[in-house]
Amino acid sequence: MIASGAIVDAGIDYISMTMTNDNPLVEVWLQSALAYLEEIAIDRQQIEMRKRLGYDGWSFGGSFVGRRERDTIAVFSGERAKLAYTKLYRSDCHVSRIDVQTSFRYSTTTSNVAEIVRNQVERDNSKISSSRQRNATLIEDLRGGATCYVGTRTSEQFARIYNKGAESGDERYERVWRFEVQLKNRLASRLAEQFTSSPTAQDILAATFVKHWLRHRGVSTPWKAEAELMPLPQVQKETSDVDSKLQWLRDQVRPALRVLLKYGLRDAILEALGLANDVHD
């Protein structure tokens, strides 16, 4: 899918985290979650007491903080989820769901993106065995909105590609299509850990992850290649000592390379290093 335009937003769009009540830090974690809820609500009167998913707690918009007998939960959605992850995620949290998105604005009005995605998944299915076939569902409405679901919503991972402008009715999203991947439970926890252990900014890592996840299912995305999105750290000009440079490679470059290699992006690494034509299998 080759198109002109630009990424206007990328990152975590939804996160649901729990911490067990026997964790010695659970009270501090709860207070931090409530403080952030109050911060995004501005007016405390907007925060409502409610029950959700078996938890008693406090809610504002699509966000919720609550507690039940065995654990405490924090759920943040939309733009608030990015900062919620930064403020609240810990390795001793369980992440039951995480959504990662990339929003791309096309330079011209494009109405058939969801249909193209569905057709790409169908073509990719023709190349793989029947046991690995993936479903893609196209839904359209009379307002010009369209969504393609890749995979099934009941599984631990699936994606939705939709017309963000039509879905939101917000003129800020004119000509914007959102490419979003949802992970649950084990996969969600693994990705959350990946985000915190990576030296790469959340938006760039999100764009890379979404692109790779969809490409693995035969879907091409319209934004730049991974090597362009994820530049490797720069060597400081004053560094000349060989040992210092080797230490820099171990401490700074190796973590970024591990992230890329986990996603199977060997070719992107070689391209970023300018070695694509020098290395042969």
pLDDT of amino acid 192:
94
Pairing of strands 55-60, 146-150: unpaired
- pLDDT, residue 229, reads 46
Closest CA to 103 of 229, 191, 6: 6
- What's the one-letter identity of residue 135? N
Distance in angstroms (rounded) separating the CA atoms of residues 154 and 158? 8
User: What pLDDT was estimated at residue 43?
Assistant: 76
Beta bridge partners of 73: 18, 66
Q: What pLDDT is recorded for position 251?
A: 66
Check if the beta carbon of residue 79 is closer than 8 Å to that of residue 165: no
Paired tokens of 167: 């879905």
Q: Which residues of the chain have pLDDT under 70?
A: 1-2, 144, 225-248, 250-252, 256-257, 259-281
Query: What pLDDT sits at residue 174?
Result: 92
Tens digits of per-residue pLDDT, 137-160?
Answer: 999 887 768 999 999 888 999 999
pLDDT digits (tens, 9 = 90+) for 12-26: 999 999 999 999 999
Encode pLDDT of 51-88 as tens digits. 998 999 999 999 999 999 999 999 999 999 999 999 99
Tell me the sheet residues that pair with 99.
14, 182
In sequence order, the 6+-apart residues with CB closer than 8 A to the CB of 99 are 12, 13, 14, 15, 81, 180, 181, 182, 183
User: For residue 79, which of 95, 61, 94, 66 has the smallest C-alpha distance?
Assistant: 61
Q: How far apart are the first and last CA of the chain?
A: 28
DSSP H/E element including 47: none
In this prediction the pTM is 0.77
Q: Are 136 and 122 in contact (CB under 8 A)?
A: yes
Burial of 243 (0-12, 13-18, 19+ CB in 10 A): exposed
The pLDDT score that the predictor gives to residue 239 is 43
What's residue 200's pLDDT? 77
Share of the chain above pLDDT 70, in %: 79
Packed helices 185-197 and 254-262: angle between N→C axes, nearest 10 degrees: 150
